[in-house]
């Protein structure tokens, strides 16, 4: 049996404008999602990111920068929608697996404004679709390289003039509620920590059929870099 396609109203690139959870309102975290007919790419970068201008690789980062990188979120996988219930099945996740489902009840306030409320957890998110982002929508399964130049599976998404590149780490995270908890509990040596953090989710702008420029990434020193699509 094939994978059911995501309905057309959900397709495109979405930007989160609001999160309400546990009495806290968040309008500053940058959250972007590209949703294709099967797969999604998601990135979530907190607003308090430190300056990485002097870092060209993970080895250049100090302990505060490395600890901050561990607070990022992002993932990719298959989306399943049944009625107004959407579930995001994460096959590659920046954060450790924590046994929780990512599942929400969806309500369209308009064609381009979507409200999500949690099913297994109490939260509310408001999503706004980027204009015309359901044009040139695609996902391609490609090969990427990690920090050791080892080949790993990766995905390249396009949504009109935007792209997303997701290349997972080649290391297994321990079970934990978050990567910060894993770091505090297991106290990995530097090389292990670098491997944990070596998970690239980059969003950017398409320049032409063969190139794009990264504008937001879980590896901050890659922002501004040009990437080749072939």
- pLDDT (mean) for 197-224: 97
Domain hosting residue 83, numbered range: 8-228
Q: How crowded is residue 10: how many other Cβ atoms within 10 Å of its Cβ?
A: 21
- Measure the CA–CA gap between 227 and 149, rounded to whole angstroms: 16
- 2: in domain: no
Checking if the pLDDT of 1 tops 70, the result is no
- Residue 195 exposure: Cα atoms within 13 Å on the Cβ side: 13
- pLDDT (mean) for 31-38: 98
- Between residues 19 and 227, which one has the greater pLDDT? 19
- 55: in domain: yes
- 160: in domain: yes
Reported as a single tens digit per residue, the pLDDT across 129-170 is 999 999 999 999 999 999 999 999 999 999 999 999 999 999
How many domains, the chain?
A: 1
Checking if the pLDDT of 4 tops 90, the result is no
Strands 200-206 and 39-45: unpaired
- Between residues 98 and 178, which one has the greater pLDDT? 178
Residue 2: what pLDDT? 63
Q: How crowded is residue 158: how many other Cβ atoms within 10 Å of its Cβ?
A: 21
- 35: in domain: yes
Averaged pLDDT of the chain: 96
Checking if the pLDDT of 57 tops 90, the result is yes
Reported as a single tens digit per residue, the pLDDT across 156-166 is 999 999 999 99
Residue 99: what pLDDT? 85
Cα–Cα nearest to 160, from 128, 115, 204: 204
- Measure the CA–CA gap between 219 and 72, rounded to whole angstroms: 10
- pLDDT (mean) for 8-14: 98
Q: How crowded is residue 39: how many other Cβ atoms within 10 Å of its Cβ?
A: 21
Residue 150: what pLDDT? 95
Q: How crowded is residue 55: how many other Cβ atoms within 10 Å of its Cβ?
A: 17
The CATH number that applies at residue 91 is 2.40.128.280
Checking if the pLDDT of 94 tops 80, the result is yes
Name the DSSP class of 149.
-
């Amino acid at each position: 049996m094939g994978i059911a396609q995501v309905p057309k109203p959900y397709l495109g690139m979405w930007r989160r404008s609001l999160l309400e959870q546990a009495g806290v309102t968040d309008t500053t975290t940058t959250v972007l999602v590209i949703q294709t007919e099967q797969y999604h790419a998601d990135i979530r970068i907190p607003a308090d990111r430190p300056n990485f201008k002097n870092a060209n690789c993970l080895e250049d980062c100090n302990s505060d920068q490395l600890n901050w990188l561990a607070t990022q979120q992002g993932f990719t996988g298959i989306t399943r929608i049944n009625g107004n219930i959407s579930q995001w099945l994460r096959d590659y996740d920046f954060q450790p697996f924590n046994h929780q489902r990512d599942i929400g009840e969806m309500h369209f306030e308009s064609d381009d404004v979507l409200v999500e409320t949690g099913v297994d957890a109490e939260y509310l998110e408001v999503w706004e679709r980027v204009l015309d982002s359901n044009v040139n929508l695609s996902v391609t399964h490609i090969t990427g390289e990690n920090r050791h130049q080892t080949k790993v599976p990766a995905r390249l998404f396009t949504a009109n003039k935007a792209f997303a590149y997701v290349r997972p780490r080649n290391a297994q995270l321990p079970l934990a509620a978050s990567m910060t908890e894993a770091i505090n509990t297991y106290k990995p040596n530097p090389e292990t920590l670098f491997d944990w953090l070596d998970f690239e989710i980059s969003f950017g702008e398409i320049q032409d059929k063969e190139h794009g420029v990264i504008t937001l990434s879980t590896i901050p020193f890659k922002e501004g870099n040009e990437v080749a699509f072939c």
